[in-house]
Amino acid sequence: MTAAALPLEGYRVLDLCEGPRAYCGRLLCDLGAEVVKLEAPGGEPGRGQVTARMPLAFHFLNAGKRSAVLDAEGDAWPAPLDSWLDGCDVVLEDIEPGSAREPFRQALRQRLAPDRVVWASLTAWGRDGPLAGAPASDAVLLAHSGLLSLAGHPRRPPLPAYGDQAWLSLSAFAAMATLGALYRRALGGGGAQIDASAVEAMAHSLENAPQFVDLEGIVRRRTGNRTEAATGVFPCADGHVYLFTAMGGTIFAWDALVRWLEDAGTPGAAVLRDACWADAVWRRTAEAHRSFEAVFTGFTAGRARQALFEEGQRRGVIIGAVNTPSSLLSDPALRSRGFFRPVALPGWGELDFPGSPYRFAGVDVRARGPAPALGEFTTAATQVN
């Protein structure tokens, strides 16, 4: 292995995961593994119509992988896949306990060498426990874990996070655990059997809510998009900004904020110099909310999000832009750092692909190509058959 090679160069990963759980294999693929996605003859549901161009989410979750088709009802593994499996290092699968695919899972486990393979199960509830194998959706997992109770406006229904966060979290944790097992194996250890559950990944993300219950008998509730009068989402000319001035009783950068508003001649800014603004309890009152909103939105209404973010930060105010996907595409920091990497996606043209979550000084970690055409790894074998 050359010094310039990616960390997982030469490793083989068999990836049975569908939908958002394919993110696990994507992460390993970017790190250099050869990831073969095993699909049923019709392709996994994330492909949509096989004859149409592949959905963009499918490209994101499966960039750089190969695709092998296996008819699980059939008898034999197609030849190229069969010999490839002899060198398989990792299996990623999302077969829920008790599902119709369980016999196939058992057959695959018998095919591979347990003392060598790192086998990761990515399930909703885990491989055991009272709810193992129960149906699940992303929002249902957020609900059961406790995380959903912290999200949304207090007088409106709890609001599930956008974008399959439970499934993506499960995928990332499983990739982390897989890398840990591969590290141990590289130092003389054997294989591993990983049991990763989405509901626990979410229960693990409750911030300090479990400890508020345990240590102080307080159950945290959702607070909407403002945690107190001057912390949260505020509208501006072309969108919204996020202002942070207080947490846990401590006020941050208040003087810098007030000075900013005063320097701009903001009507009512002087009110914010009042002593009451040092009182964390008062800042949670409806009166404080109304008072601050009136002054601050008077300032932000005529100003653009990015300008407010940059100018505020330069003045020592802790403020962020509430970015949309479009504004992120033109974000100056992401652009100047070359974060987006063009990838040619069949049917879509060359698109700016999001870059890797991490940068290694010695090697270039990135999406390694579009998602694969269905069965391209086993095409030759199926034509012969």
CB-based contacts of 242, cutoff 8 Å, min separation 6: 232, 233, 234, 319, 320, 321, 322
CB-based contacts of 85, cutoff 8 Å, min separation 6: 14, 77, 111, 112
CB of 67 vs another protein, minimal distance in Å:
17
CB of 68 vs another protein, minimal distance in Å:
21
| Of residues 26 and 66, the one with the C-beta less far from another protein | 26
Cβ(30)–Cβ(24) below 8 Å: no
Cβ(272)–Cβ(292) below 8 Å: yes
CB of 332 vs another protein, minimal distance in Å:
5
Q: Which residue from 187, 236, 227 is spatially nearest to 208, judged by alpha carbons?
A: 227
Report residue 336 as tokens.
């100047």
| Of residues 81 and 147, the one with the C-beta less far from another protein | 147
Distances (CA, A) of 354 to 122, 267, 343: 24, 42, 10
Q: Which residue from 173, 127, 163, 171 is spatially nearest to 142, judged by alpha carbons?
A: 163
CB of 234 vs another protein, minimal distance in Å:
10
CB of 8 vs another protein, minimal distance in Å:
7
Rounded-to-integer distance, Cα 227 and Cα 213, Å: 19
Cβ(124)–Cβ(96) below 8 Å: yes
CB of 264 vs another protein, minimal distance in Å:
20
What's 327's DSSP letter? H
| Of residues 77 and 353, the one with the C-beta less far from another protein | 353
Strand 239-243 with 319-321, pairing: antiparallel
CB of 238 vs another protein, minimal distance in Å:
12
| Of residues 271 and 318, the one with the C-beta less far from another protein | 318
| Of residues 204 and 273, the one with the C-beta less far from another protein | 204
Angle value at C-alpha 43, between 41 and 44, nearest 5 degrees: 135
SS3 233: strand
SS3 217: coil
| Of residues 79 and 219, the one with the C-beta less far from another protein | 219
| Of residues 184 and 379, the one with the C-beta less far from another protein | 184
Rounded-to-integer distance, Cα 167 and Cα 310, Å: 34
Cβ(289)–Cβ(232) below 8 Å: no
| Of residues 218 and 264, the one with the C-beta less far from another protein | 218
CB of 345 vs another protein, minimal distance in Å:
8
Cβ(91)–Cβ(112) below 8 Å: yes
CB of 133 vs another protein, minimal distance in Å:
10
| Of residues 156 and 275, the one with the C-beta less far from another protein | 156
